[in-house]
Copies of this chain bind each other. A is one copy, B any other.
Amino acid sequence: MKVDGVSYRTIWPAADGAAVEVIDQTRLPFAFVIRRLTTVAEIAAAIRTMVVRGAPLIGAAAGYGMALACQADAADTNIDRAHTTLLATRPTAVNLKWALDRMRKGIRAAPPESRRREAYRTAALICDEDVAANRAIGEHGHALIDALWTKKRRQGRLNVLTHCNAGWLATVDWGTALAPVYRAHDAGVPVHVYVDETRPRNQGARLTAWELLKHGVPHTLIADNAGGHLLQHGAVDLVLVGTDRTTGSGDVANKIGTYLKALAASDNGVPFYVAAPSSSIDFGLDDGVRQIPIEERDARELTEIEGEVATGQTAVVRLAPHGSPALNVGFDVTPARLVTALITERGVCDASRAGLARLFPEATGSGA
């Protein structure tokens, strides 16, 4: 996608071949900064501190982390160590393990002298496949949006509610949940997006609003609390979110608060779609609430916040009384029964084992 007229991905190998470069997402929307990462430790820190975030981008970053490991030392022990280090960065997104396993397998299968090249090749492939998957999700989702727009007699605007950031910044390019929005917008559907600010990290306010603004998609920032009211009053035509891990049975782990929006969509008969590339589907799991590990992060992400002061610089302010403890849970699980459908790169399906088996027969067979 473009930033002020220049095309960017969120991650790419540096021109000198000795590092990886990423957009530093902790600085947006106040500053657009490119960060150069040269070691496994730097990649791990970037994932942990959310310089890069979003399940697909975490996978891609981990891929390049393995390539950097190979560059330093392509021996099995070092590859295994890098796998362990990177896997420990964040627990919920399954793309991380998916990408790391794939990288390790590819590296180990290669002879020592070509491991570095093989690793960079596979990391690039993971990125390109992500872009292709998101483009396909965009197509399939666009068809759903277009059908709703026709149902609305193509009058007024088509209102999407989204939570967190599942836009191009969460992926290598295009986004998952926002790919259909960009496609529909570019095709002339008057899409308007209600953007949950997404406390406590405010990815909606900081990243989704910024993305949509840069691409010219009409949008309105709202508090996470507001979605129920909007749904109750017919102001939302569909809810569209991403996922960090979806079970083979269709339960969806996504940013904390997603479950509440799914309940409200269901209560008001509004479709709730989840954009789920297969890299985020954990076919072996059956019970999302019990089986998906949910990350707990530093409470200061809730009690302190960074913003821009009048001078244009940023500052951190404290929001809560000194002495009040806080709990910061990163994700929740939306049961499959609340999900209208999954939008995958292979098409749209029921959020169920049967639905997924139709599109991914090879995966559901082995995962059961």
Contacts and interface: CB of A to CB of B under 8 A. Distances in A.
Interface string A253-270: 001110111011001000
B221 A263 contact: no
Contact of A317 (B263, B308, B320, B323): B308
B317 A307 contact: yes
Contact of A303 (B221, B228, B305, B306): B221
A232 B332 contact: yes
A18 interface: no
A199 interface: yes
A49 interface: no
A349 interface: no
A213 B321 CA distance: 8
A225 B324 contact: no
B29 A320 contact: yes
B256 A232 contact: no
Interface in A309-325: 309, 314-321, 323-325
Interface string A210-232: 10110000011111111111101
A304 B303 CA distance: 15
A205 B320 contact: yes
A25 interface: no
B315 A219 contact: no
Between A219, A222, A304, A314, the greatest number of chain B beta carbons within 10 A of the residue's beta carbon is seen for: A222
Interface residues of A, number: 66
Contact of A224 (B220, B257, B324, B329): B257
A113 B29 CA distance: 62
A148 interface: no
A229 B317 contact: no
B205 A319 contact: yes
Contact of A226 (B202, B219, B233, B257): B257
A253 B132 CA distance: 46
Contacts of A264: 259-260, 263
Interface string A292-311: 00100001001111111100
A232 B257 contact: no
B210 A224 contact: no
Interface string A165-208: 00000000000000000000000000000110111101001100
A333 interface: yes
B225 A321 contact: no
A316 B319 CA distance: 11
A33 interface: no
Contacts of A332: 225-226, 228-229, 232
Interface in A69-111: none
A205 B318 CA distance: 10
A307 B302 contact: no
A329 to B, nearest CB: 5
A22 B157 CA distance: 46
28 contacts: A29-B321, A197-B302, A200-B223, A219-B324, A220-B326, A221-B299, A221-B327, A222-B302, A222-B328, A223-B256, A223-B302, A224-B257, A226-B327, A228-B332, A229-B259, A229-B333, A230-B329, A232-B289, A232-B332, A233-B289, A259-B264, A305-B305, A305-B307, A305-B317, A305-B319, A308-B318, A309-B317, A317-B317
Sorted from nearest, which 6 A-B pairs have the closest CB atoms?
A: A307-B317, A225-B257, A29-B321, A229-B332, A221-B326, A209-B324
